Chain A
């Protein structure tokens, strides 16, 4: 069966360090993958999209990698700040599924001073 897995345990890191979150998937052939941020009591907010033919995408302090062989995406936040504390969700669109996203359960990131 199709599955998207994110680490359900919270990730706690110190301010200034690089946070790395993992998204693994099985039985998908995604055309692209997206990362969203969700704060408590709010809807998710889009951060980055990476296509199947791209290895890496950057936006300011964010970097996403996409390895279709390993079936894995890594999401990095460099020079992390307490304001980066949130839950981060990955989402996949399969080839030919006309924009229908499937979301992972998310990983909570806590950045401490």
Chain B
């Protein structure tokens, strides 16, 4: 595809359930990022994958959050035992990391609502 895609676009779940959010980055982009954006807030960094390096997980808010990137392409963000405060838009971005230029291309996001 031409851009970053995310699925599902909307997810409504009950408190305590697990959810999986998917991101398909732009083909050939070596870097992939997950962010969270709550209503009226800026983007909160969650996790960063770069090639085969160990991911930077410094933004994950709790051990209920985890992410994988298989084969250097598709990524899945998993939230276990969801809480109401997890409700937000989860955005994925990818970039072609060359030199110091890091333009990030964002997907449309997944809107997660925890009831």
Shortest distance from the beta carbon of A62 to any chain B beta carbon, whole Å:
15
Docked CA distance A21–B71 (Å): 41
Contact flag A99-B45 (CB < 8 Å), given A49-B101, A93-B102:
no
| A44 / chain B contacts, CB cutoff of 8 Å | 43, 91, 104, 106
Count of B residues near A, CB < 8 Å?
A: 26
CB within 8 Å of B: which of A21-70? 31-32, 34, 41-46, 49, 51
A46 & B105 in contact (Cβ 8 Å cutoff): yes
CB within 8 Å of A: which of B28-46? 31, 33, 35, 40-43, 45
Interface digits, A82-102 against B, CB 8 Å rule (1 contact, 0 not)? 000000010101000011111
B109 & A43 in contact (Cβ 8 Å cutoff): yes
Count of A residues near B, CB < 8 Å?
A: 24
Does B25 make an interface contact (CB < 8 A)?
no
Interface residues of B (CB under 8 A from A): 4, 31, 33, 35, 40-43, 45, 48, 50, 56, 91, 93, 95, 97, 100-109
Interface residues of A (CB under 8 A from B): 4, 31-32, 34, 41-46, 49, 51, 89, 91, 93, 98-106
